Amino acid sequence: MDKKEIVKYWIKSSDNDYETMDFLFRGNNYSWSLFVGHIVVEKLLKAYYTKNIDANTPYIHDLLRIADKAKLELSEEQKNFLDTLTSFNIKARYDDYKLKFYKICTEKFTTIYIGKIRKFRIWIKKLL
């Protein structure tokens, strides 16, 4: 695959995960919807990295590090958002964090972050 095809792959895969995130959210599965939301954003960052740097994306899940390696200019608010979203990946994955994370992921909390994921998704897709 050439770079354009790889970028399309990342975007399509992210779009599929976005639908899953939305399904989980509507089903009140809040912690997992945020976990998948992390994946949605990660794949779009990797699309950006592929488009602007190299087809071989870094094997990391830290969203801020991916954005930095991709030389993506971010506001402080966006940096803080990516840092927080990265923590959802860890907290939903490992048993010692899961229960605490589950309790934090109320409908109100999750609605706020799903909104931020949607906003970031729209913004970065314009750059692709």
Residue range 73-89, pLDDT digits in tens: 999 999 999 999 999 98
Q: What is the dihedral of CA 13, 102, 123, 121, to 10 degrees?
A: 20
Asked if residues 87 and 38 have their Cβ atoms less than 8 Å apart, the reply is no
Report pLDDT for 97: 75
CATH of the domain at 28: 1.20.120.330
Report pLDDT for 100: 86
- Helix (H/G/I), strand (E/B), else coil: 58: coil
Where in the sequence is the domain holding 58, given as residue range(s)? 3-127
Report pLDDT for 92: 60
pTM of the model: 0.94
Q: Give the residue ranges of the chain where pLDDT is below 50.
A: none
How many distinct structural domains can be found in the chain?
A: 1
Report pLDDT for 55: 85
Q: What is the dihedral of CA 102, 40, 46, 59, to 10 degrees?
A: 30
Q: Shortest CA distance to 24 belongs to which of 9, 45, 38, 42? A: 38
Report pLDDT for 83: 97
Residue with tokens 């506001």: 75
